[in-house]
Structure 1
Amino acid sequence: MTAARWDVESVAAELLRCEDERTARSPFSDEWPELDLETGYAIQDLNLRARLDRGERLIGVKLGLTSRAKQQRMGVHFPFVAWLTDAMILPAGDPVPGDRLIHPRVEPEIVFVMGERLRGPGVGCALAMSAVASVWAGAEVIDSRYRDFRFTAGDVAADNASSGAFVTGPVGVSPGHLDLSLEAVLVEVDGVVVDSATGAAVQGHPGEALALAANELAKRGHAIEPGWIVLTGGMTDAVAAPPGVSVAMHFTNLGSIHLNGGES
């Protein structure tokens, strides 16, 4: 397909096809340089409607590239907001769903369950945290429809910020009982610690990421609704979880999450 034929509708359809068929491709921006962040979000929203039309249910939002580690790795230096649906839930104890993803990688996250509606603009960290009902550990299984996770800002926004699946931990805590900037995580692969971070890696405090999401979504006419789940972004770089590999994420106060690589 030539650059002249790419538009919001055709890119949206191609991304869903790649997801459904587990096929990676080159970034659209290689052929369509005009694919900017605003256009990427328009594609993302169009595909949300397609997901809802096929029976998925909107349950929250996720942030991508909120930590400096992830930004440096991916070469994109600001965060993104994307959608979560119930089809992305990974039940606790289930393996990484390698049979429906292209090249999954796992990263630890701090997760919020919202108690109140949060709508920008002008939301700061304190206001954002006042709307949170509970805090959980999380592990996001990111995926990408682009080969080697190579993309521009417009590409990754269109691709729903590399969404795949997610699982939450065993412990839900009131946000007033934690200093989330100091909440730490150790990432183990086959019993060996390979990375660590604290909540400060996520925009200085995960509440800042939540505020960012509310303000960015307001530009698109959306709010964060009560009961929604918010994944605040990877605290560390993501790790691969191929078949036979065990990944564990141990949080200071939020418990541990264990994932095994699933068959591809």
Structure 2
Amino acid sequence: MSAKDTEKIRRWADHLAQAEVSRSGVAPLTELDPHISMEEAYQVQLVTIGRKVESGHRIVGKKIGLTSLAMQKLLGVDQPDYGHLLDSMVVENGGSIPFDRVLQPKVEGEIAFVLKRDLAGPRVTQLDVLLATDYVLPALEIVDSRIKDWKIKLSDTIADNASSGLFVLGGKPLAVESLDLAQTGMVLCKNGEIMNTGVGAAALGNPAACVAWLANKLSEFGIALKAGEVILSGALSAAVNAEPGDIFSARFAHLGEVSVRFTA
């Protein structure tokens, strides 16, 4: 990468970081630079994560975004993306999230994988994922965007760490062979009211297929999934807007429940 390209990547990382400092969304990168590529967007993400690690954060896993048709339609994109999970993003099951910790949050339910062995692409299969998985858990992901009003295209959300915010793990660990991931149903509720439902097959046909996609995609950057990491495999239905006072819960067949509250 040329010095000019490196400077551009750093400049866009600074642009997104400003949103966190100012607590206000910023203009989309795709408006400021209509020619920004997916590869450049991933480089922006890696710069941002590198800075956070240098400041003391720890990578604890990865997330896959935009795996469901519902989410792709909602955000106007046509393929998945991925982001990094940090220890500072973890919220306790049943815990509270002060609203000044987020910008414009949305909540989605998904299945989390915890790995017992490394997965390195480029030829990882769905079966490889199942063999490498220690257990699965129900999860809520609080997606968030540093881009004002969620006016994002694919390169915007990639650069913005796949619109990562926070995440909650719940239920009890369950061996992956104990359930049919594709047929595992979910009900997402807000303040006790059903918002939407989903099933594992909504995420690329099977959540394990999403993890395989991720391992193979990461190989393009020389990155492997590591034993012990948490992998959020993708939303099973469209994300739901959150406001102060809202309580969210997701119930999964056989996996149990996970919940979180937003406070003012």
Bin the TM-score by the shorter chain: over 0.9
Query: Which residue is 2:58 aligned to?
Result: 57
Give the superposition deviation at 1:96: 2.9
Query: Which residue is 2:237 aligned to?
Result: 236
Q: Structure 2 counterpart of 1:64, which letter? A: G
Give the superposition deviation at 1:219: 0.4
Give the superposition deviation at 1:95: 1.7
Query: Which residue is 1:33 aligned to?
Result: 34
- 3-state SS of 1:170 partner: coil
Q: Structure 2 counterpart of 1:179, which letter? A: D
1:73 aligns with 2:74: yes
Map Cα deviations across residues 79-117 of structure 1 (whole Å, 9 max, x no partner): 001111101111222223421111111100100000010
Over aligned residue pairs, what C-alpha RMSD do you find? 1.5
Query: Which residue is 1:195 aligned to?
Result: 196
**Percent same amino acid at aligned positions?**
32
Q: Identify unmatched segments of 5+ residues in structure 1.
A: none
Query: Which residue is 1:122 aligned to?
Result: 123
- 3-state SS of 1:29 partner: helix
Q: Structure 2 counterpart of 1:147, which letter? A: K
State the TM-score, normalized to the length of structure 1. 0.95
- 3-state SS of 1:127 partner: helix
Counterpart CA distance in 2 for 1:21 and 1:204 is: 40
Give runs of ≥4 in structure 1 deviating > 2 Å: none
1:89 aligns with 2:98: no
Whether the aligned pair in 1 keeps the contact of 2:116 and 2:132 (CA below 8 Å) is yes
Q: Structure 1 counterpart of 2:207, which letter? A: P
Which range moves more in the overlay, 80-89 or 253-262?
A: 253-262
- 3-state SS of 2:263 partner: coil
Map Cα deviations across residues 183-236 of structure 1 (whole Å, 9 max, x no partner): 111111222212001000011000000000000000000000000000011111
1:133 aligns with 2:134: yes
Counterpart CA distance in 2 for 1:26 and 1:196 is: 33
Map Cα deviations across residues 123-153 of structure 1 (whole Å, 9 max, x no partner): 1111111111000000001100112211111
Which range moves more in the overlay, 128-137 or 89-98?
A: 89-98
Give the superposition deviation at 1:14: 1.7
Counterpart CA distance in 1 for 2:118 and 2:176 is: 16
Give the superposition deviation at 1:43: 0.5
Counterpart CA distance in 2 for 1:262 and 1:31 is: 34
Query: Which residue is 2:180 aligned to?
Result: 179
* Matched ranges for 1:147-162 at <5 A: 147-162=148-163
Map Cα deviations across residues 7-31 of structure 1 (whole Å, 9 max, x no partner): 1001111212212332101201112
More helix by share: 2
Which range moves more in the overlay, 121-130 or 173-182?
A: 121-130
Whether the aligned pair in 2 keeps the contact of 1:181 and 1:199 (CA below 8 Å) is yes
Map Cα deviations across residues 137-186 of structure 1 (whole Å, 9 max, x no partner): 00001100112211111111100000100000121100010100011111
Whether the aligned pair in 2 keeps the contact of 1:12 and 1:43 (CA below 8 Å) is yes
Q: Structure 2 counterpart of 1:80, which letter? A: D
Aligned pairs, number: 260
Counterpart CA distance in 2 for 1:31 and 1:209 is: 31
Whether the aligned pair in 2 keeps the contact of 1:22 and 1:100 (CA below 8 Å) is no
Counterpart CA distance in 2 for 1:118 and 1:20 is: 35
- 3-state SS of 1:7 partner: helix
Q: Identify unmatched segments of 5+ residues in structure 2.
A: none
Query: Which residue is 1:246 aligned to?
Result: 247
